[in-house]
Amino acid sequence: MRTKAPILAQAQALRRDYGDRCAVCALNFQLRRGEVLGLLGPNGAGKSTTLRLLCGLIVPSAGRVEIGGHDLQTAPLQAKRLLGYLPEVPPLYPELRVEEYLRHCGRLHGLSRAALPGALADTLARCGLSDSRRRLIGNLSKGYRQRVGIAQALLHDPALLVLDEPTSGLDPNQMREIRALIRELGRHKAILLSTHILPEVRAVCDRVLILDHGRQVLEGPATADPAASGLLIRLQRPPAAAALSALPGVAACEPAGADAFHLRLSTEADPAALSAALTAWGLLEFQPRREDLEDTFVRLTTGEAAAGAPPC
């Protein structure tokens, strides 16, 4: 059902160079309505650059971005009408009141004078800012500023929300509130958010896209990586690792201690047959081990880092 939802944003062969460095290389993804896509990667992986490319803040060196079917280069105004963007640093004017600022943002995004008060009240309530509407932005705490930033992105009810580290600088309670808000919004909108906090991805994202050195190293469901599922076994009489990896259904075997091994299974593996085969070495422990996001993240990003800078 989700796949039938319309594509709201799509990037094709997106690339952006900074001098000789390739900040984002050959990025492809699609985002549909009702989907929350998490952009994950270590610092400097090109997450913010990707989001800025998507919002038209910077122009790609190559490739294209489409929002709601409008090319961002050739029809920027139509495309940007569908867009709400929260940059890494919320774009706030400290000398304005919250209300004044949001009204300005609303007018900037083409909200009519008539529609403005309703949208304003709604957004303020949603972001928990109703009591702060008369306050000067410069006097707000970091958490509240972040809320104003989010309010700014939501105000004109865009179909696509692009959030650059929406929970950074917030305390745990505020984080929970914001995540709940994102999840709720994600039911009707397409949301692209970047973060380097793994639990956040698990908490709010449907899909995840991992970036490293500007390259897309993984795109998949946020929950786990099925291809990377495996077993943790302990044996009384451990044989050589080669013997274990020769077993049918075992793709790889890594020692995980004196008597323990990680087995990565191929897709056609039969766990029952495998456990029978393993009893020959005195099976002590046999537990399925699903590789979680963190493992995947660490494996992909450090592996690539070890392999050196990717050829772009």
- The rounded distance, in Å, linking the Cα atoms of 39 and 215 is 12
Closer to another protein at the Cβ: 135 or 202?
135
Residue 283 tokens read as 């099976």
Where b means 16+ CB within 10 Å and e means fewer, 105-138 reads bbeebebeeeebeebbeebbebbbbeebeeeebe
Closer to another protein at the Cβ: 126 or 135?
135
Residue from 7, 12, 34, 61 touching another protein (CB under 8 A): that is 61
The SS3 assignment for 201 reads: helix
Closest distance to another protein from the beta carbon of 298 (Å) = 31
Task: Specify the amino acid at residue 203.
Answer: A
| Residue 189 binds another protein, judged by CB under 8 A | no
Closer to another protein at the Cβ: 132 or 167?
132
| Residue 55 binds another protein, judged by CB under 8 A | yes
From residue 129 to residue 168, the character string flagging contacts with another protein as x (rule: CB under 8 A) and all else as - is: -----xxx--x------------x----------------
| Residue 187 binds another protein, judged by CB under 8 A | no
- Residue entry with tokens 């979680």: 292
| Residue 96 binds another protein, judged by CB under 8 A | yes
Going by their DSSP bridges, the two strands 283-289 and 230-235 should be labelled as antiparallel
Contact status, residue 301 vs residue 41, Cβ threshold 8 Å: yes
How far does CA 305 lie from the centroid of its chain? 20
Closest distance to another protein from the beta carbon of 139 (Å) = 7
Residue from 8, 10, 11, 16 touching another protein (CB under 8 A): that is 16
| Residue 18 binds another protein, judged by CB under 8 A | yes
User: What is the DSSP-derived secondary structure letter of residue 138?
Assistant: G
Residue from 33, 47, 80, 234 touching another protein (CB under 8 A): that is 80
Closer to another protein at the Cβ: 77 or 272?
77
Closest distance to another protein from the beta carbon of 71 (Å) = 14
Residue from 65, 83, 201, 250 touching another protein (CB under 8 A): that is 83
- The rounded distance, in Å, linking the Cα atoms of 17 and 76 is 21
Residue from 7, 17, 251, 286 touching another protein (CB under 8 A): that is 17
Where b means 16+ CB within 10 Å and e means fewer, 66-88 reads bbbebebeeeeeebbbbbbbbbe
| Residue 105 binds another protein, judged by CB under 8 A | yes
Best CA proximity match to 58, nearest among 48, 67, 66, 68: 48
| Residue 20 binds another protein, judged by CB under 8 A | yes
| Residue 1 binds another protein, judged by CB under 8 A | no
| Residue 89 binds another protein, judged by CB under 8 A | yes
Measured CA angle at 131 (ends 127, 134), to 5 deg: 105
Best CA proximity match to 160, nearest among 262, 106, 226, 81: 81
Closest distance to another protein from the beta carbon of 108 (Å) = 4
| Residue 60 binds another protein, judged by CB under 8 A | yes
Binding site for another protein (CB under 8 A): 16-20, 52, 55-61, 76-78, 80-81, 83, 85, 87-89, 91-93, 95-97, 100, 104-105, 107-110, 134-136, 139, 152
